[in-house]
Structure 1
Amino acid sequence: MANTVSVEKNRSASAILVTVGMIFTVGSALGFQHIGGYTPCALCLLQRDPYYYAIPVGILAIAASLFKLPAWITRAALALVGIAMLIGAGLAVYHSGVEWGFWPGPITCSTGAPSVTTNAGNLLGDLNAIKPPSCNDAALRVLGLSFAGWNVIASVVLAAIAFFGASRKNA
């Protein structure tokens, strides 16, 4: 019985940790965009999708664990989160490779989220003048890694946490 309780606590902790980690990671990206002024490129925006899909699944895993629903529900939700984070890691590796010039980026690499204008009278002029960033150029490098490079690390760590929780079987 004690081992089962320990496994359930590990699974709950994994669900909470991975979900909070995903919220922090995508929240940081949104903070750099909206507070820091870093306009994301098309691949940057694409890398956020796995988080947007996996966060609600992570919340489901937390709820299933806390409300003591059958363990397979929590395990399945954590496995889905892990898969989503591996997909996110793959997208981030692809984007990092584009930034380092290992392979070409997609045609949409020259499009991104345009800056928001506050002058409605100059809207057309702003639309013509504002050029979104290219996927080839890292907006910022910290310790040699771009946002995409750090996303590779975050996604792999989050996937490992999710798969750890999903692999905990009741004794």
Structure 2
Amino acid sequence: MSRFLIFIAALGSAALLVGAFGFQHLGGFAPCKMCIWQRYPHAIAIGIGVLATVIPSAILPYLGALAALSTAGIGAFHFGVEQEWWEGPSTCTSGPIGNLTPEQLMEQIMTAPLVRCDEIAWSFMNISMAGWNAIASFALAILWISAARHIQKAI
């Protein structure tokens, strides 16, 4: 049962990555900086899933859960930035332009990223891609933890 849960959790991360790349390359939705950040833990979770199928250990599924929780946390933070609940990183959100000289404003414009983190590129049921990533990743973390507990019971 634990191997099946690990497989499903790693497959879930792979599906989310494939979806992200599909939106980017097929749908033309360029990712922002925080979108990219959300991808790394999924790649790590896939690697942990591969390792966990050959190395029976409860530690690896917990690390998979940590990876899933990491991307869920980034996704939840990103969703909050999109909803304007809090500010995101200054390198990918718009900032105030008051008290800037024309030269400083031009510098800010020229160094601004192409895709802003505080703009929603796509949503479904009023939840953005970042929000859906957070929801799905929390569910994947539950699968990883369930796998770890099954392994611990078997030991």
What TM-score results when the alignment is normalised by the length of structure 1? Answer: 0.75
| CA RMSD, Structure 1 to Structure 2 (Å) | 1.8
Separation of aligned partners in 1, 2:65 and 2:113: 35
Deviation per CA, 1:10-57, whole angstroms, max 9, x where unpaired?
A: 111111111111100111001100111000011111111111222111
Quote how far apart the aligned CAs of 1:77 are: 1.0
Q: Please identify runs of 4+ aligned residues in structure 1 that moved more than 6 A.
A: none
Aligned residues: percent identity? 34
Give the whole-Å Cα distance in 2 for the aligned partners of 1:26 and 1:44: 11
Match of 1:170 in 2: 154
The within-5 A match list for 1:26-37 is 26-37=17-28
CA distance in 2 between counterparts of 1:19 and 1:47 reads 15
Aligned length: 137
Q: Which amino acid aligns with 1:145?
A: I
Match of 2:53 in 1: 62
Q: TM-score, normalised by structure 2?
A: 0.83
1:146 deviates by 0.3
Aligned match of 1:161: 143
**Residue of structure 1 equivalent to 2:9:** 18
Partner of residue 138, structure 1:
120
* Structure 2: unaligned runs, 5 residues or longer: 95-109
- Aligned positions of 1:93-108 closer than 5 A: 93-108=76-91
Instruction: Compute the displacement of 1:166 (Å).
Output: 0.3
Q: Give the counterpart of 1:50 among 35, 38, 41.
A: 41
Mapped contact 2:92–2:113 kept (Cα < 8 A): no
Gaps of 5+ in 1: 1-9, 65-70, 112-127
